[in-house]
A and B are shown apart, each in its own frame.
Chain A
Amino acid sequence: MAIQKPKEILLVDDDQLFLKLIEQVFKKSGFKCTVAPSAEAAIILLQEGAKPDIILSDYLMLKMNGFEFRRYLMNDPAFQDIPFVFLTFFSDKDLVEKGLDLQAIDYVIKDTPINVIVSKVNNILFAVDKQRELSENEVKKAAKSLNIKSIPVKAPDIKEFSIDFWHQAYHDIPGGDFIDFIRVNDRYTFIVLGDIMGKKWMAWFFTFGFLSYVRSAVRFAAFNQEYSTARILQQVNDVICFDEVLKDILSSLSLLLIDSETNKISYAGAGDLPLLQYSSETGELMSVSSSGLLLGLFEHGNYTEREIDLKPGDRLFVFTDGMIDFVDKTGKKSDYNQFSKTLKPFLEKENNFTYIAESLFAGSLNEQVDDRSIISIYKN
Chain B
Amino acid sequence: MIKVYKELNDVLLVTLEIKEASLENGDAFKVEVIKLFDKYHKSIAIDMSVVEYIDSSFLGSIVSVFKHLISFQNEVVLVGLSKDITNLFALTRLDKVFKIYSTFDEVSK
A-side residues, CB < 8 A to B, are 47-49, 51, 76-78, 176, 195, 197-200, 203, 248-250, 252, 271-274, 289, 291-294, 297-298, 321, 325, 330-337, 369-370
Q: For the complex, is B96 an interface residue (Cβ under 8 Å from A)? A: yes
Q: Please tell me which one of the listed residues B24, B28, B31, B52 contacts residue A332 in the complex, with CB atoms under 8 A apart.
A: B52
**A197 (CB) vs chain B CBs: closest residue:** B60
**A272 (CB) vs chain B CBs: closest residue:** B92
Residues in chain A near residue B18, CB distance under 8 A = 47-49
CA distance A321 to B88 in the complex (A): 9
Q: For the complex, is B54 an interface residue (Cβ under 8 Å from A)? A: yes
CA distance A299 to B55 in the complex (A): 24
Residues in chain A near residue B7, CB distance under 8 A = none
A-B contact pairs, 12 of them (CB 8 A): A49-B25, A198-B23, A198-B60, A199-B55, A199-B57, A250-B60, A273-B92, A293-B94, A297-B67, A333-B53, A334-B54, A336-B88
| B27, B52, B53, B56 interface centre (most CB from chain A within 10 Å) | B56
Residues in chain A near residue B28, CB distance under 8 A = 76-78
Q: Are A297 and B97 in contact (CB under 8 A)?
A: yes
CA distance A47 to B50 in the complex (A): 13
CA distance A369 to B58 in the complex (A): 13
Q: For the complex, is B102 an interface residue (Cβ under 8 Å from A)? A: no
B-side residues, CB < 8 A to A, are 1, 17-20, 23-25, 27-28, 31, 52-57, 59-60, 63-64, 67, 84-85, 87-88, 91-94, 96-97
Q: Are A294 and B57 in contact (CB under 8 A)?
A: no
CA distance A276 to B67 in the complex (A): 31
- For the complex of A and B, the 5 pairs showing the least CB-CB separation, nearest first, are A197-B60, A332-B53, A78-B28, A49-B18, A199-B23
